């Protein structure tokens, strides 16, 4: 059954005073903090210490944990953790475990010199990335379950705000700390900041969860199927859990969209390739071109964050005015075009005005893309399986680009920066073609999200 719930206006701005809405601000901070510390800031640290571009490119693969989190999302959705789940509840237990893993891994990175033991640093980074991906899945599930549907927009708004503040801290903040002292202080401070997420998880209440009649009816087929088989005891229990947790969310999606589901998944997988493909090399590119760490922190990180938020706000307005489809196609065109701005920057050299213009183009476009793509992905999920289905989409969104990014160091070193950025622009062409096909065969503005009874 599909519901169309009018947005209640009686709460107004008071919705942001709800304890769980406020809590999402700090959980968003906890979710956003590790992202750059195993991504852009990590690559800047390695390059600053003289690590080769090829090694930096391959080490970007540690971020692939976010691209494959769909593999263990069903486990987080349904499996309790010994002791922790009894004390905190299922969602908070997984969040706390992930946060402690992240903090410990960041501290391990802080205390290890990549020039002496690059392998150990890489292992700490992998651990931090897997903890971060696990935390994302748990927080996504908590956000959906903790508040009513009409408050989900406020939950998302505070989450994104906290997330972006954390990105600023892990980007500009870490670069400034490294500039005035050392990378050990930078990563040690970031490990300590994970305490914000830990305290928030201990303070908030576990959400009460009820299974909808639609979900019960859909999963009743599992019971009916098992009654006709020879499975018994633990085999029957394990089979039922596997089908209900892993098969049902994906089966429901393909049942709803049919063959068009493959087109949708292909588009999701290619939409951000051009952005991710070149993003790993951004900070090494700035440093090689001659910009200082302070300039990168102030312009690329801090000013870039403002441009991203501006783009996201603009995207919200444009989607409301013109719908998802047109803006989705627009951003598919704009993303590879902005890559050419970096080729132009490589041509003119370390000119501050050039960096500012490139950051404006790239981050405003990125903000636009984030806004419209979240709206699109949200429209694809069934609220009965939000955590697992959204994990599928977000994993597909980053996996191809993240894998290809591993070779970017070799490419940049062998062909030079100008041809490199021109090549990354070409990787955005498939998304443009698929966006056009999507509008023709599965128009985004005609998509309706199944609700819960």
pLDDT digits (tens, 9 = 90+) for 97-133: 999 999 999 999 889 888 888 888 888 988 999 999 9
**Does the pLDDT value for residue 160 go beyond 70?**
yes
Of the chain, the percentage scoring pLDDT greater than 70 comes to 81
Measured between alpha carbons, how far is 101 from 107 in angstroms, rounded to an integer?
10
Least confident of 106-110, 153-157, 204-208: 153-157
Q: What is the largest CA-CA distance in the chain?
A: 72
* Confidence band for 378, pLDDT divided at 50, 70 and 90: low
Q: In CATH terms, is domain 17-209 a member of 1.10.1060.10?
A: no
258-450-154-28 Cα dihedral, nearest 10 degrees: -50
- pLDDT at position 6 over 60: no
State the Cα–Cα distance between residues 384 and 227, nearest whole angstrom: 24
Q: Does the pLDDT at position 162 exceed 70?
A: yes
Name, in order, each residue with C-beta under 8 angstroms of 421's C-beta and a sequence gap of 6 or more: 278, 339, 340, 342, 343, 346
Model confidence pLDDT, tens digit, residues 284-305: 899 899 998 888 888 887 788 8
pLDDT at 221: 65
Please determine, for residue 194, whether its predicted confidence score (pLDDT) is greater than 90.
yes
pLDDT at 5: 41
Q: Give pLDDT, residue 326.
A: 86
> What contacts 226, CB < 8 A, 6 or more positions away?
236, 239, 240
Mean local confidence (pLDDT), 89-101? 92
**pLDDT for 232:** 64
Q: Quick one: pLDDT at residue 150?
A: 54
pLDDT tops 50 at residue 2: no
Residue 432 is predicted with a pLDDT of 93
Q: Where are the domains of the chain?
A: 17-209, 258-453
Average pLDDT over residues 258-263: 88
Asked if 222 contacts 240 with a C-beta cutoff of 8 angstroms, the reply is yes
pLDDT at 328 over 50: yes
Reduced to 3 states (helix: H, G, I; strand: E, B; else coil), residue 65 is helix
What are the CA-CA distances from residue 145 to residues 85, 99, 149, 383 (Å)?
Answer: 16, 20, 9, 10
CB 312 within 8 A of CB 161: no
Highest mean pLDDT among 163-167, 261-265, 369-373 belongs to 261-265
Cβ–Cβ < 8 Å for 391, 264: no
Beta carbons within 8 Å of 383's beta carbon, 6+ residues apart: 144, 149, 449, 450, 451, 452
Confidence of residue 383 (pLDDT cuts 50, 70, 90): low
Higher-pLDDT residue of 21, 16: 21
The C-alpha atoms of residue 333 and residue 221 are separated, in whole angstroms, by 43
pLDDT-based confidence at residue 345 (cuts at 50, 70, 90): very high
Structure token pair of residue 80: 């309790």
- Residue 50 CA to residue 35 CA, distance in Å, equals 22
Is the model more confident about 305 or about 23?
23
Residue 283 neighbours by CB distance under 10 Å: 28
* CATH architecture of the domain formed by 258-453: Up-down Bundle (1.20)
Q: Encode burial over 18-34: b for 16+ CB neighbours within 10 A, e otherwise.
A: bebbebbbbbbbbbbbb
Confidence label for 3 from pLDDT (cuts 50, 70 and 90)? very low
- The yes-or-no answer to whether 17-209 and 258-453 have a common fold is yes
Mean of pLDDT values over 357-364:
92
102 neighbors 66 (Cβ within 8 angstroms): no
Closest CA to 273 of 401, 377, 399: 401
Contact 380, 449 (CB under 8 A): yes
- Token representation of residue 55: 């090694």
Work out the number of other CB atoms within 10 angstroms of the CB of residue 82. 7
């Amino acid at each position: 059954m599909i519901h169309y719930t009018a947005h209640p206006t009686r709460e107004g701005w008071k919705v942001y005073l709800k304890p769980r809405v406020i809590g999402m601000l700090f959980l968003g901070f906890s979710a956003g903090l590790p992202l750059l510390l195993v991504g852009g800031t990590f690559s800047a640290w390695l390059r600053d210490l003289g690590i080769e571009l090829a090694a930096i490119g391959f080490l970007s693969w540690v971020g692939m944990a976010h691209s494959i989190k769909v593999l263990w999302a069903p486990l987080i959705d349904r499996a309790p953790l010994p002791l922790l789940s009894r004390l905190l509840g299922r969602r908070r237990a997984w969040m706390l475990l992930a946060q402690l893993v992240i903090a410990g891994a960041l501290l391990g990175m802080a205390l290890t010199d990549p020039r002496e033991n690059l392998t150990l640093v890489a292992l700490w980074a992998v651990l931090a990335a897997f903890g971060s991906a696990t935390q994302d899945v748990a927080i996504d599930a908590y956000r959906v379950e903790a508040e009513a549907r009409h408050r989900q927009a406020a939950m998302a708004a505070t989450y994104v705000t906290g997330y972006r503040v954390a990105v600023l801290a892990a980007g500009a903040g870490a670069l400034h700390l490294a500039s005035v002292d050392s990378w050990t202080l930078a990563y040690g401070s970031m490990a300590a900041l994970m305490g914000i997420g830990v305290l928030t998880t201990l303070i908030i209440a576990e959400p009460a969860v009820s299974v909808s009649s639609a979900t019960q009816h859909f999963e009743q087929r599992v019971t009916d199927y098992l009654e006709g088989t020879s499975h018994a005891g633990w085999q029957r229990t394990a089979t039922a859990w596997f089908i209900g947790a892993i098969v049902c969310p994906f089966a429901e999606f393909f049942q709803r969209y049919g063959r068009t589901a493959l087109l949708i998944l292909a588009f999701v997988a290619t939409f951000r390739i051009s952005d991710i493909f070149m993003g790993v090399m951004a900070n090494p590119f700035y440093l090689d071109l001659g910009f200082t760490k302070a300039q990168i922190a102030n312009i690329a990180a801090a000013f870039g964050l403002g441009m991203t938020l501006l783009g996201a706000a603009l995207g919200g307005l444009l989607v409301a005015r013109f719908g998802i489809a047109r803006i989705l196609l627009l951003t598919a065109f704009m993303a590879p075009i902005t890559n050419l701005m970096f080729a132009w920057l490589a041509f003119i050299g370390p000119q501050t005005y050039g960096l500012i213009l490139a950051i404006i183009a790239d981050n405003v476009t990125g903000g636009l893309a984030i806004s419209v793509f979240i709206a699109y992905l949200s429209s694809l999920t069934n609220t009965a399986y939000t955590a697992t289905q959204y994990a599928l989409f977000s994993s597909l969104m980053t996996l191809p680009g993240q894998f290809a990014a591993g070779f970017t160091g070799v490419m940049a070193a062998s062909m030079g920066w100008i041809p490199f950025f021109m090549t990354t622009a070409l990787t955005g062409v498939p998304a443009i073609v698929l966006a056009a096909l999507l509008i023709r065969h599965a128009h985004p503005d005609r998509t309706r999200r199944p609700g819960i009874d």
